[in-house]
Amino acid sequence: MNFQNKTIFVTGAASGIGKATALEFSARGAKVAVVDRNSELLAEVVDQIEETGAEALALHCDLTQGDEVFAAVQATVSRWGGLDCAVNAAGVEGATKKLLDEDDALFDLTMDVNLRAVWYCMRSQIEQMLKQAEGGSIVNVSSGAGLVGSARSAVYSASKHAVLGLTRSAGLQYARNGVRINAVCPSGVQTPMADRIVDSFEGGAPSKGGAGYPLGRYSTPEEIASGIMWLSSAGAASAIGSVLTIDAGFTAG
């Protein structure tokens, strides 16, 4: 899985899975555009990448705004001449509430960040990749809650199910154009988001630390990034609309 001189676009890159993915791509020789709303944390990620001698580009972007997403993709292409791989990892966790307690504002925020942003990203990324002789690869980050229901948040689960619908459908539509689109479904990952979810449960989540998972612990961001590397690599050339589940056994039962 060598990405020497490949150009990569990673959203949600300021922390968690997105950050781990950006760092792993750069360690494998890629030039990485790191995209997020948190400029301060983005700068730290860029510093980490550049300390290794790799190239990085920080792009502050509100992914719920289509024009900003398009501009970020174009800035990446202008800097390095193309777009080989994209990873859409940005997301919000919603809230620990039952459906009747989830109001319009929470619904809109969750859908905007988890679904609309992915839709905007895919549109700009696919448009660019169709111009390239070798196409490209897109990996969307869904969730274990995109495969099964969630007692914690119906709206979050719905948004992640929808990401898989986009992934599979677009994967079918553009496979013969050389654009491969796949998804990963993590669950219970050691990230700031997981910490916020634990804190949202009164008395802490029942699976705090991953104790309730078959593996007995949470997955690490680096383990999810490893799966993303494979889906983005030439070794996954025939993976089209695939869903790779890396969830410490959460959905296996």
CATH code for position 72: 3.40.50.720
- When computed from its CA atoms, the radius of gyration of the chain, rounded to whole angstroms, is 17
* 121 is a domain residue: yes
* 117 is a domain residue: yes
Domain holding 85, by residue range, is 7-188+219-246
Q: How confident is the model at residue 206 (pLDDT cuts 50, 70, 90)?
A: low
- Tally of structural domains, the chain: 1
pLDDT in tens, 45-100: 999 999 999 999 999 999 999 999 999 999 999 999 999 999 999 999 999 999 99
Mean pLDDT of 159-166: 98
Q: How confident is the model at residue 203 (pLDDT cuts 50, 70, 90)?
A: low
Q: Considering 120, 156, 213, 218, which one is annotated as catalytic?
A: 156
- pLDDT above 80 (res 214): yes
* 76 is a domain residue: yes
Which stretches within the chain are classed as H helix?
16-27, 39-51, 66-80, 104-111, 117-129, 154-174, 192-200, 221-232
* 60 is a domain residue: yes
pLDDT in tens, 12-56: 999 999 999 999 999 999 999 999 999 999 999 999 999 999 999
For residue 2, what pLDDT is reported? 92
Comparing C-alpha atoms, which of 189, 193, 171, 188 is closest to residue 180? 171
For residue 205, what pLDDT is reported? 61
For residue 195, what pLDDT is reported? 77
Q: What is the residue-averaged pLDDT of the chain?
A: 95
* 241 is a domain residue: yes
213 is catalytic: no
* 1 is a domain residue: no
* 141 is a domain residue: yes
- Between CA 172 and CA 196 the distance in angstroms is 35
Sign of the four-CA dihedral 241, 193, 40, 66? positive
- Between CA 112 and CA 156 the distance in angstroms is 11
